[in-house]
Structure 1
Amino acid sequence: MIVYANHLLSSLEKLQGLFLYGASEEVQHFLVWALESGMRLKHGSVACSFVDAASFVNDPDTYLQPDLFSHESSYRLFVIEGLENAYHAKMADMLTLAHDAFLVFTGLKLKKTSSVIKKAIESQTYGVFACYENVAPALKKVFFPHSLAWLGVQVEKNLLSYVCEEIALADWPCVREKLYLLYHEAPLSFEDIKLLDHGNAQTVSLKKAVLGREKKAAIHELSRLSDIQEILTSLRSLASFFTKMLFVKAGVEAHLSFEKAVQGLAAPFFFEDKQLCQNKMSSWSIAQIEKTLITLASIEVQAKKKSPFWFAELSKIFV
């Protein structure tokens, strides 16, 4: 139950779902390699045999029965650890995709989210996974509006094609962020993403103002923008920032350290202004961050239409 695709390295337009039934020979060979090499790295002589790995690929449900995973030494956790170590060894980008999908969706399917995520988070850097135990409802509401929609099963194909070339290259949280923004009618180019990740003096000032709930300062920063593209870029910058902030806040609420919650995110702002972020984020709840993301999507729609009301909508962020 990792990825079902005709060609994992080609267009996402071919993505049909997350199950391996009917997966291409290339995908099967890749997963067999991932499982085998990962097991050898982690467990030395206790290596996963080719037959076992191939059986897992061809008949995943055999290995996804709840009674098989009732203790820590279960085969499924064995596979998770193997994938993780293969991720650290090589082919990091593709293994991130496989590992994350496998970890999240097997956990959700088996209704063992708490123990699965707890076990996995101990030795990996994706702070977002720690969220599932304590704030699962909040994240599911944002990222699982139609079950698997966030990974493209029900998302429009033209939106998927937008990130098809980058899904194997970008880090997984960044892909997740882009899919979220696409879902809310705010498509970003690769250049946009680079700009948002690094930002400029103006966008940094805007983020600080909004983070600190400094309404006048935020409106002042936006009032300096005269071009519609500058306005849209700033709004997308805020959406990018709050998407990451949601992950970090959720990780902290799941008792991760701030540093651990930030790990794995392409979010230099959180590192460069760590003290500010830690202090200011305490005034935001998960619900408020979600509401802000929805409001930003609404504001952008208004701005695109050049509606005179978009500016007033900004006030909703500070309510």
Structure 2
Amino acid sequence: MPAPDPQRLVTDIRSWAKECGFADAGIARLELDADLQHLRDWLAEGFHGQMEWLARDLPLREHPQRLRPGTLSVISVRMNYRGDAADADAVLGDASKAYISRYALGRDYHKLVRSRLLKLGRRIEAAVGPHGYRVLADSAPALEKAYARNAGLGWIGKNTLVLSRTAGSWFFLGEIYTDLELPPDAAPAADNLCGRCTACLRICPTQAIVAPYRLDARRCISYLTIEHHGSIPPDLRPLIGNRIFGCDDCQLVCPWNRYAQRSPEVDFAPRHGLDAPQLVALFAWDETEWLRRTEGMALRRAGYARWLRNLAVALGNAPAAEEVVAALRGRLDDPDETVREHVAWALERQRSAAAP
């Protein structure tokens, strides 16, 4: 099979990526020196909390060839996920309801993005012949945001998310590490396209964005409700509000998301009414029902005990109501010590709210 023209191949890859369901694709430069130093400084400040793997896997992030031997190029793709869920601001404004980050309302994105990346990889292989490649869907140590920026898919905003002029930030990223030598895209967008805007810093409920482009995960609601094991710091619990899995505030307020594109993926549509559920109803799920209703969803990442822990915090922040107190009392003897602790805290909050 004759060797294809590299530039024509890049054009074809973009076209094939869209056929596979991606909104955009590009070829990333592999130079990440500034990004790696930023990561080292972030780790040194302890901003990663309990996520020790971020430090442990640093060598794999530094050298893509260690993650996939022979890598010469990284293909970066984005897939939109914004769907027709209940209005996020309305749910956040109703403290009797549970707010779940909009990315987690449908099918687990890891599975869908990975399957589409494999399809794209096979399409490339059909055109150029057998070659070595590996697909990544938030599934291995990679600086995916930096690669997306280097591939021209956007810039890294003050909220530390990748932002696009034409798509905002409501999208997933994925990569193909390949031993094909592909010409990288033009210089990435500058980091100052956020301009003077500081909306994301001001809106963050826990002030986790401590400075532009710097996030203290230990204060981030997404980290606290998904990655953090054990007890949530008591001083942060009232600030979490009714957010039980993740947080979207810095995206909801971002002006660039006026350009966010709707996703055609039916797999990202909300399941089981989880885009605007009642807190008390979710707290009543036993583990069997939780496993059934979250099958194939990213919600599984938190685990059942953390799910109850998070709901207990939200119920503690809910308006005083007899049904809330009854639901909490029903779990005072939960087998999990952390759940019991947060239930007791929530009951005390309810008593204080109900006191004349």
Greater RCO, CA 8 A, separation 6+: 2
Judging by fraction of residues, say which structure has more helix: 1
What TM-score, normalized by structure 2, do the two folds share? 0.26
What TM-score, normalized by structure 1, do the two folds share? 0.28
